[in-house]
Amino acid sequence: MSTNSTYYIPHKATWPIIGTVGLMIMLAGFANFLNGSSIGQPLMIAGLLVFVAMLVGWFTLQAKESESGMYNHEVGISYRHGMMWFIFSEIVFFAVFFGTLWYTRNLSVPWLGEGATKELLWPSFDAVWPTNGPGKVGGEFEPMGAWGLPFVNTLLLLTSGVTCTWAHHGLLAKNRDQLIKGLLATVALGFLFVCFQALEYHEAYSEMGLTLGSGVYGSTFFMLTGFHGFHVCVGAIILSVVLFRSTKGHFSPENHFAFEAAAWYWHFVDVVWLGLFIFVYLM
Amino acid sequence: MSAAVDEHDHHADDHHDHGPEKGLLRWVITTNHKDIGTMYLLFALAMFFIGGTMAMVIRAELFEPGLQFVDPAFFNSMTTMHALVMVFGAVMPAFVGLANWQIPLMIGATDMALPRMNNMSFWMLVAGVLLLASTLFMEGGAPNGGWTLYPPLVLQPITVGKALPFAIFSVHLLGISSIMGAINIIATIFNMRAPAMKMMDMPLFVWTWLITAFLLIAVMPVFAGAVTMLLTDKFFHTSFFNAAGGGDPVLYEHIFWFFGHPEVYIMILPTFGVASTIIPVFARKPLFGYASMVWATASIAFLSFIVWAHHMFTVGMPIAGELYFMYATMIIAVPTGVKVFNWTATMWKGAMTFETPMLFSIAFVVLFTLGGFTGLMMSIAPSDFQYHDTYFIVAHFHYTLVPASVFILMAAGYFWLPKWTGHMYNEKIGQLHFWLSVISVNILFFPQHFLGLAGMPRRIPDYAVQFADWNMISSVGGFIFGASQLLFLYIVIDTIRGGTGEKVSDEVWEDAAKHGLEWTLPSPTPYHTWTTPPTIVPTEHVLDSH
């Protein structure tokens, strides 16, 4: 009975407090910036730098500890629990915005176009999706179609899911070359997705009149796709780190939690995109 | 059995010696679940007094009709901040503190599963509360649109000043802190349990926290999403809650209460867990209906997700919605009734003694039931139209929070402080604290039922003269209650510094080791415990499930 004494309990953790202070400075800076204060921006940047330094430092430490064999099987299970429930919390976060889209399209917009609301407030409002509301907030706009860039992006992300799994098979078969090539392809597809999305946003703003301020259509469109795009960036950065570690010879078929966590995260981002493609673009 | 466990433990400690760091830095960089638990508890206690001071301002202003001490905007800041500080700064962190201390001790784990993240959860909490508290000193003052932050009110310049973005980012930080804490608790319970302990052997406190942790992970991101939309509506031209743009302010209420209703169970389920731990020890009987307690907790947690709109019966919902939320809400009374029945049945024919933790626990059973009954009254949609946004609802949720959650937190303090510190608290002062608290809390909140039924609205600094008498009585009760809590502060400090000087045994309470693993450890609890997991776990508390 020695399972507890081989479970690695770290001591003297310095990164958590550094990360917390960085995040707090960044958010206090952002709040000051929104209030129009000139110290907002420098504070934000300083906080962000501290936060990024924490990420680099903490993950480097974890990678070193992992490679030196300090984590036993049970520690790995704890990390998997951690990642799994973190992704669950992210799913709930996205569910809020999907729920908002559903509520708006099926309840609040139809209510604006019927009964006393229509007669007394906005008699000329035609409650048809997509809409920027009876006040025509943000002016004329063109909704985003599904079959241009968004469809290409769907194919890109689906392919990246396949290359990610291919890399995993390489790792399990001790084929380092396949692991690195698979990860390289996944990261490249991920960043290409982000580039195309930037292009799509540019078109929306410059040619279609579609902005974050285009009533509730613009709000839900940019909020959902924007948070997703941010998550793609984060996922691609995580995969880049995993790629870098793979080139350094890290990971073995038995011990590669970081790869697994990154892959889970990537598949989560992938599935959210499928939801977006159906509910935001297609329907 | 307990001797064997102790021997193992001391032996293991000899060649596994990481004592605490020296100096203040120990607390900043610690990964020890006991250190972090202590920080959570002391932080919560500090917030309890800060939030309590705000309540004293509110009761002072309401002592008489008319405007006496503060201007209305500041009064509204006080009601808003009192709620936010008490919910996110005091009650929730206090239970996380108890979880940190007790869960590893109760399940035979050497520490929490993810110790570095544990440290970060605590400091994120402090960061979040600092951002929130900073708004008190800002131009325009702290948020004063109510703790629910409803749009469009909260987006109007008069109610936000410069505070809104700080309050929103504070919610984000508190959410991250809670989610990290919850993930840690889940990983610890699933992965760090002594192999001898099956799920249905776990103490009820561990069960209730496991279920609470799921609630936290499922709803804190919802709150984060809701306030993020407030932020973009205010600063980035979105129209989520703006009807002219096709949005709907009622949507915010739906999202908020989808978070908010499970949130109230986040504050009460661990309360149930502590009560289910304390009552059997002082009734000297196993907990009645262990398995039904577990199922009732899970049922309440499930139901908490599908009843949210009973907070907004008067907002203008379709009649089918009103009826559904009314009946669904009433169903919660069933599993809650199971719990109250089980606590009562545990005490039935028990060899009861009435030490301070037991007194607080019995008061909890009685007064929480009272708060539950007023909840049942308000679940009836047509009646709620009368009570909505009056002092009746204020009385209701204060009964479920103060003589329930807060009393049980006090009980937990009296119950476990001797174990943690190795010192006994002063029983006489403890009992005095109890009696002053239980009498004054009823003088404070009971008259608010009458005020509410008579139509006095909540969140107002001034009121019609017809409400004067009961408000004055309520305020007197409030001042006595507030002052009595200084006794608790004294007892906590006194016990940490040596208490009565009496050396407490490992069990502390008679036959406690039958009820929980923590009582088989030495008192005070060593810095590292269960470096070798226990091979035998007490099953007294789950006797009837086997």
Digit-by-digit pLDDT tens for chain B (546 residues) are 333 344 344 444 444 456 787 888 999 999 999 999 999 999 999 999 999 999 999 999 999 999 999 999 999 999 999 999 999 999 999 999 999 999 999 999 999 999 999 999 999 999 999 999 999 999 888 999 999 999 999 998 766 678 999 999 999 999 999 999 999 999 999 999 999 999 999 999 999 999 999 999 999 999 999 999 999 999 999 999 999 999 999 999 999 999 999 999 999 999 999 999 999 999 999 999 999 999 999 999 999 999 999 999 999 899 999 999 999 999 999 999 999 999 999 999 999 999 999 999 999 999 999 999 999 999 999 999 999 999 999 999 999 999 999 999 999 999 999 999 999 999 999 999 999 999 999 999 999 999 999 999 999 999 999 999 999 999 999 999 999 999 999 999 999 999 888 889 999 999 998 889 999 999 999 999 998 889 887 766 555 444
- B221, two tokens: 């991101």
| E-only strand ranges, B393-504 | none
Chain B residues in contact with A211 (beta carbon < 8 A): 237
Tell me the CA distances in angstroms from B478 to B75, B292, B434, one per residue in order.
Answer: 16, 37, 15
Measured in angstroms, the CA of A187 and the nearest CA of chain B are apart by 27
Question: Is the peptide bond preceding residue B524 cis, with omega within 30 degrees of 0?
Answer: yes
Q: Among this protein's residues, is B276 annotated catalytic?
A: yes
Q: Where are the domains of chain A?
A: 1-71, 73-282
Maximal CA-CA distance, chain B: 72
| pTM (two decimals) | 0.95
Q: Among this protein's residues, is B178 annotated catalytic?
A: yes
Compute the residue count for chain A.
283
- A3, two tokens: 């399972």
Going by C-alpha positions, the residue among B446, B451, B325 that lies closest to residue B381 is B325
Amino acid (one-letter) located at A112: L
Q: Among this protein's residues, is B339 annotated catalytic?
A: yes
List b or e across B170-209, with b for residues whose CB sees 16 or more CB atoms inside 10 angstroms: bbbbbbbbbbbbbbbbbbbbebbbbeebeeebbbbbbbbb
Nearest CA in chain B to A33: B165
Number of C-beta neighbours around residue A124 at 10 A: 6
CB contact under 8 A, A12 and B21: yes
pLDDT score of B286: 92
Q: B2-16+29-545: which CATH number, 3.40.91.10, 3.40.50.300, 1.10.10.10, 1.20.210.10?
A: 1.20.210.10
Active-site annotation holder among B172, B310, B396, B423? B310
Chain B residues in contact with A89 (beta carbon < 8 A): 179, 183, 217-218, 220-221
CB contact under 8 A, B31 and A9: yes
Nearest CA in chain B to A113: B246
Looking at residues A94-99, what average pLDDT do you find?
98
Amino acid (one-letter) located at B472: M
Q: Among this protein's residues, is B311 annotated catalytic?
A: yes
Q: A1-71: which CATH number, 3.20.20.140, 1.10.287.70, 3.40.640.10, 1.20.1440.230?
A: 1.10.287.70
Mutate to test the interface with A, among B17, B183, B254, B312 (most CBs of A within 10 A): B183
pLDDT score of B536: 82
CA dihedral B201→B204→B208→B210, nearest 10 degrees, is -30
Chain B residues in contact with A225 (beta carbon < 8 A): none
Q: Among this protein's residues, is B458 annotated catalytic?
A: yes
Measured in angstroms, the CA of A139 and the nearest CA of chain B are apart by 10
**What three-state secondary structure class fits B390?**
strand
CB contact under 8 A, A93 and B120: no
The C-alpha atoms of residue A170 and residue B67 are separated, in whole angstroms, by: 74
Q: Among this protein's residues, is B470 annotated catalytic?
A: no
The C-alpha atoms of residue A44 and residue A33 are separated, in whole angstroms, by: 8
Chain B residues in contact with A4 (beta carbon < 8 A): 109-110, 530-533
3-state secondary structure chain A: CCHHHHCCCCCCCCHHHHHHHHHHHHHHHHHHHHCCCCCHHHHHHHHHHHHHHHHHHHHHHHHHHHHCCCCCHHHHHHHHHHHHHHHHHHHHHHHHHHHHHHHHHHHHHHHHCCHHHHHHHCCCCCCCCCCCCCCCCCCCCCCCCCCCHHHHHHHHHHHHHHHHHHHHHHHHCCCHHHHHHHHHHHHHHHHHHHHHHHHHHHHHHHCCCCCCCCHHHHHHHHHHHHHHHHHHHHHHHHHHHHHHHHHCCCCCCCCCHHHHHHHHHHHHHHHHHHHHHHHHHHC
**ipTM attached to this prediction:** 0.95
CB contact under 8 A, A4 and B244: no
Nearest CA in chain A to B214: A85
CB contact under 8 A, A212 and B238: yes
| C-alpha count within 13 angstroms, C-beta hemisphere, residue B66 | 2
Q: Among this protein's residues, is B77 annotated catalytic?
A: no
B191: nearest CB among A74, A131, A135: A74
Chain B residues in contact with A93 (beta carbon < 8 A): 221-222, 224-225
Q: Among this protein's residues, is B336 annotated catalytic?
A: yes
**Nearest-5° angle of CA A18, CA A22, CA A23?**
120
Chain B residues in contact with A28 (beta carbon < 8 A): 131, 134, 166, 169
Region of residue B198 (left: phi > 0; alpha: psi -120 to 50; beta: else): beta
CA dihedral B319→B321→B322→B323, nearest 10 degrees, is 90
CA dihedral A116→A121→A126→A127, nearest 10 degrees, is -60
- A266, two tokens: 């990537």
Which DSSP helix (H) or strand (E) runs through B385? helix B381-387
CB contact under 8 A, A93 and B225: yes
The C-alpha atoms of residue B219 and residue B230 are separated, in whole angstroms, by: 17
Active-site annotation holder among B311, B419, B528, B541? B311
Size of interface A-B (CB pairs under 8 A): 224
Compute the residue count for chain B.
546
Chain A residues in contact with B119 (beta carbon < 8 A): 13, 16-17
The C-alpha atoms of residue A265 and residue B270 are separated, in whole angstroms, by: 31
Q: Among this protein's residues, is B425 annotated catalytic?
A: no
Residues 6+ apart with CB under 8 A from A214: A132, A137, A138, A139, A141, A221
pLDDT score of A5: 62
Measured in angstroms, the CA of A205 and the nearest CA of chain B are apart by 14
Percent of chain A's residues with pLDDT above 90: 94
pLDDT digits (tens, 9 = 90+) for A184-208: 999 999 999 999 999 999 999 999 9
Residue with tokens 């004293």: B56
B535: nearest CB among A1, A95, A135: A1
Measured in angstroms, the CA of A12 and the nearest CA of chain B are apart by 5
Going by C-alpha positions, the residue among A27, A20, A104 that lies closest to residue A279 is A104
Going by C-alpha positions, the residue among A253, A273, A97, A258 that lies closest to residue A178 is A253
B239: nearest CB among A10, A79, A216: A216
**What three-state secondary structure class fits B322?**
helix
pLDDT score of B17: 52
Chain A residues in contact with B244 (beta carbon < 8 A): 133-135, 137
A9: nearest CB among B111, B172, B238: B111
Distance, C-alpha B79 to centroid of its chain: 18
Contact B120, B106 (CB under 8 A): no
Q: A73-282: which CATH number, 3.30.565.10, 3.30.1180.20, 1.20.120.80, 1.10.3470.10?
A: 1.20.120.80
CB contact under 8 A, B187 and A81: yes
Measured in angstroms, the CA of A114 and the nearest CA of chain B are apart by 13
Alpha helix stretches (DSSP H) within B32-139: 33-61, 72-84, 92-107, 115-134
Mutate to test the interface with B, among A18, A33, A75, A78 (most CBs of B within 10 A): A78
Active-site annotation holder among B9, B35, B111, B322? B111
Q: Where are the domains of chain B?
A: 2-16+29-545
Mutate to test the interface with A, among B238, B250, B259, B528 (most CBs of A within 10 A): B238
Distance, C-alpha B474 to centroid of its chain: 23
Nearest CA in chain B to A218: B238
Q: Among this protein's residues, is B310 annotated catalytic?
A: yes
Number of C-beta neighbours around residue B229 at 10 A: 26
CB contact under 8 A, B250 and A108: yes
Nearest CA in chain A to B216: A89
CB contact under 8 A, B222 and A2: no
Chain A residues in contact with B18 (beta carbon < 8 A): 11
Sign of CA dihedral A63, A64, A69, A71: negative
pLDDT score of A6: 82
- According to DSSP, the residues that pair with B390 across neighbouring strands are B457
Number of C-beta neighbours around residue B295 at 10 A: 13
A20: nearest CB among B124, B224, B531: B124
Number of C-beta neighbours around residue A79 at 10 A: 21
Going by C-alpha positions, the residue among B302, B462, B331, B110 that lies closest to residue A1 is B110
